[in-house]
Structure 1
Amino acid sequence: MSLRLALILLTVISVVCDTLLLPFYPQFFASEFSVSNPTLIGVFVANCCITVMLALPLWAKVAKKYHELALWLVTQVIAACFGLLCYFATNVWEFWFYYQFMLVLKASYLLIYPFALRLEQQSKHLSIIGLFSVLMHFGAIGGALVGGYFFSLNEPRYALLLSAAGDVIQVLLCAYLMLSLKLGIYQHAIESEKPRTRTPYFIWQFCFISVVVYFSAFLIRPFFTTHWQGMSAQSSAFESALVYAIPAFSALLMLLFNHFRQRLPVPTLSRTSTLLCALIFGAIGLYLQAQESVWLVVSSRILYGIALFQVMVLLEVMLFAKSEPAHYGSDFAKVHVAQNIGVILASLLVGMSVEYFNTTVPFYFAAIGFASLGAILLWRVKFVGRTAHTAT
């Protein structure tokens, strides 16, 4: 088994296991702990994001000394143990406590991404980033469908057992790779081309954009299945999971389109122009999902999935184009912190907005977020153009 194939398998397993309950947190807390307070569920999701946000930079520092495979081997063993403790938790606070410790350990697998990019030439980064983006989406599809299946059996806790089993499989994969590649536990030093004395300005730019994008994108996730079942009361949990996963199928279509783009008679836009168009279409897709029409919601989720894929891939391509291999892990960790800040803010707001208003309000807030970011980007493009024209 090649290292690249093993990293793909590790990514898919990790994402599937981590998204088994994500679309169904409201239903899970209601069925297992008789908790139906939307604000409390929003706080739980925010707590999960804070945990991962704080843990990833720590693992990025550890990975500078110890090899990533050795790190994942240890952390996933302990994560599996905490997953079992979550399964046997008898009350919501006990579950909450064990779940956060499990996430601390699981956060280390996010280093797979910069690790894989470090192994490839920068000319191949677009295809690698697109591939991993689709893997994340397909992992989310698998997680949502399997989670929906467990809910249809009225056994949602089985998802926690499956997650622990996934951690064990990851441990076996890491052990196999370390033995077959004859790797030690210590990391080889990576020479930096440009020594840094401070965080570059472009990192702060990407952090700001990431906060807005992930805030807007995550606003509609925690209660989407609730919103859908409110419109289509006869839909099962499995059918709701399918609708939830539509953007992931759209991402696959965009990956295929990007792969064959050079052979198609379509105009090629700059990255900035493509990003601007994607933000506009994303805002439209978010707005239309708030409408009381089943078919309009389905079609707008396709549009939204295409736009979101382009936004996220472009942001990461542009980030790693400005970074350098020696700083991939730390730069990714900084931007990932910003992404989680956006998710945390969204988690807190979505719970309160659903509790005090209804499930359609988050879609309007998310549409405003994408539209506002598009307006800022358009203003900046025009401002830079005027500045360049004046200088000329």
Structure 2
Amino acid sequence: MSLRLAIVIMSACGVISDAILIAFYPQFFAMRYGVTSTVHVGAYIATISIAVMVTLPLWARVARHVETMHLVFVTQGLAGLLGMASVMTETVAAFWAVTMLMFMTKSSYLLMFPYLMRVERAETHSATVGLLAVVVHLAGIFGAMAGGLLLQRFGADACLFAMAAGDFAQMALCLHVIRAGKVVGVLGSTASSSRHRHGTLPRVLRLSVLMLLFDFSAYLIRPFFSVYWETTTGIADRTLTGLVFAIPGLMALLALWLDRQKRTGLSGTLINLILGGVGLVLQAAPWATAILIGRCLYGWALFRVSVKLEVTLFRISTPQAYARDFSIANGFQNLGVLLSSFCAGYVVEQLGMTSPFLLAAAGLLLTAVASHLIFPTRRRLSPAPSCQTEHAN
């Protein structure tokens, strides 16, 4: 197994583990602890974002002294153990404490992404980002469907066991790659080119603000979509709910296939943000057909814009700064998800289930405006000077 394939599979395992409950936390807390507050669910999802946002930069610093694959091997093992321990928690407070520690340890697997970009050639970055984005979306499909099936047929504990299994699978893959001698060492070059690392920071921060706006808007509808779908359509099949929740993953696969066939006509960031806004408005309509069409448009836009932003990040960064810049951008993204989670719980409680879709649509339009203010010309998105890409022979 090649290093690239191992990292792709590890990413899929991590996303599946995260996606098992992400669409079903309202049902999970109601089933396991009798908690039905929408604000509580929004706060829990937001706190997950805080845990990742705080710890990922710390793991990036540790990765300056420990090879990334060795680090992830240890942290994913700990995350799996904490996931198993969460099954035994009898109170909501204990569940919060154990699972937040779990998310803090497992966040290190996100370093696999900048690590892979370091060992890949620069000309393959766009294809690699697209591939990983599709893998993430498809893993989200499988995770959401599996979560719905497990929750409906086997109960809440089965979901927690499945999440822990994903962490142990990542640990096993790390061990396989290490023992097979496939690890590409990158520690020797992390101390060089500090001037260029600092030179990329202003543009990375500007791009990160744009990512924050986009992620806030894109994920505002996520915490309560499953409840909204079941309430609006009257369909209580949670496996089907998981599939509808994961429609954006199917659209990501379609977009990647069209890219490979050179048939993608809608690739501009502005038009995709507009399509995403239209898709969000359609999802606010009280008809299943409109929701499904809107879900497709939203999924297309989510994939196209997120890939564009990720590719831009690695264009304006340098290999020596990939882990740092990625952790910064990811922190802003998680801040956007955090804010959206807090707002979602409050907005749903005060204004109803359809309001997050309309607010999210307005947010995508604001993102379009902000992109022209922050990066007014294509020239400002050009690669940073003196960027030397490392790759494995």
Global fold match (TM > 0.5) = yes
SS in 1 for 2:71: helix
Paired residue for 2:253?
252
Q: Deviation per CA, 1:168-210, whole angstroms, max 9, x where unpaired?
A: 2221211111111175999333443853446632112111111
Report deviation, 1:380. Answer: 6.7
SS in 2 for 1:235: coil
Give distance in 1, aligned partners of 2:62 and 2:307.
Answer: 27
Distance 1:300 1:267, change over 3 A: closer
Q: Which one of the candidate residues 321, 325, 338 is aligned to 1:327?
A: 321
1:7 and 1:384, CA in 2 relative to 1: closer, same or farther beyond 3 A? closer
Q: Which amino acid aligns with 1:324?
A: T
**Deviation by residue 1:49-100 (Cα, 9 ceiling, x = unmatched):** 0000001000011111100111011111111111011111101110000000
Q: Following superposition of structure 1 onto structure 2, how do residues 23-42 of structure 1 map, counting pairs within 5 Å?
A: 23-42=23-42
> Please, what is the CA RMSD of the aligned residues?
2.0
Which residue, 308, 319, 327 being the options, matches 1:314? 308
Deviations 1:292-333 (A, max 9, x none): 110011011111111110100001111111111111110000
Amino acid in the other structure paired with 1:251: A
Matches within 5 A, 1:1-392: 1-181=1-181, 187-190=187-190, 191-192=192-193, 194-197=195-198, 200-261=201-262, 264=263, 274-378=268-372
User: Counterpart of 1:220 in structure 2: which amino acid?
Assistant: I
User: Structure 2: which 5+ residue stretches go unaligned?
Assistant: 379-393
Deviates more, 1:286-295 or 1:232-241: 232-241
- Looking at structure 1, the residues matched to 85 and 185 of structure 2 have their Cα atoms a distance apart, in angstroms, of 28
Q: Distance in 1 between matches of 2:135 and 2:103?
A: 20
Q: Secondary structure at the match of 1:118?
A: helix
**Structure 1: tracts of 5 or more residues without a match:** 386-392
Alpha-carbon distance in 1 for matches of 2:77, 2:186: 19
Q: 1:380 to 1:33 in 2, by over 3 A?
A: closer
With over 3 angstroms needed to count, the CA separation of the structure-2 counterparts of 1:115 and 1:165, relative to structure 1, is same
Q: Counterpart of 1:253 in structure 2: which amino acid?
A: L
Q: Secondary structure at the match of 1:222?
A: coil
Following the alignment from structure 1 to structure 2, what is the Cα–Cα distance between the partners of residues 379 and 205? 10
Conservation of the 8 A alpha-carbon contact between 1:73 and 1:174: yes
Structure 1 distance, partners of 2:206, 2:214, is 12
Q: Does the aligned pair in 2 maintain the 1:193–1:324 contact within 8 Å?
A: no
Query: Residue type matched to 2:315 in 1?
Result: A
CA contact (8 A) 2:19 2:140 kept: yes
Aligned residues between the structures:
377
| Matches of 2:334 and 2:69, distance apart in 1 | 24
Shift of 1:384: 5.3
Distance across 1 between alignment mates of 2:184 and 2:362:
49
Summarize the Cα distance change of 1:159–1:123 in structure 2 as closer, same or farther, 3 Å threshold.
same
2:104 match: secondary structure: helix
User: Compared with structure 1, are the counterparts of its residues 88 and 267 closer, same or farther at alpha carbon in structure 2 (3 Å cutoff)?
Assistant: closer
User: Given residue 240 of structure 2, which amino acid in structure 1 is its aligned partner?
Assistant: E
| Aligned residues of 2:76 and 2:170 also touching (Cα < 8 A) | yes
1:389 aligned residue: none
CA separation in 2, counterparts of 1:173 and 1:268? 37
Task: State the SS of the aligned residue for 1:20.
Answer: helix
Whether the 8 Å CA contact 2:283–2:291 is kept in 1: the answer is yes
For residues 47 and 367 of structure 2, the distance between their equivalents in structure 1, rounded to whole angstroms, comes to: 26
Query: Are the aligned partners of 1:66 and 1:186 in contact in 2 as well (CA < 8 Å)?
Result: no
TM-score of the pair, normalised by structure 1: 0.92
For 1:29, the aligned partner's letter is F
Q: CA offsets, 1:122-167, max 9 Å, x none?
A: 1111100000101111111111011000122151221111121222
Paired residue secondary structure (1:195): helix
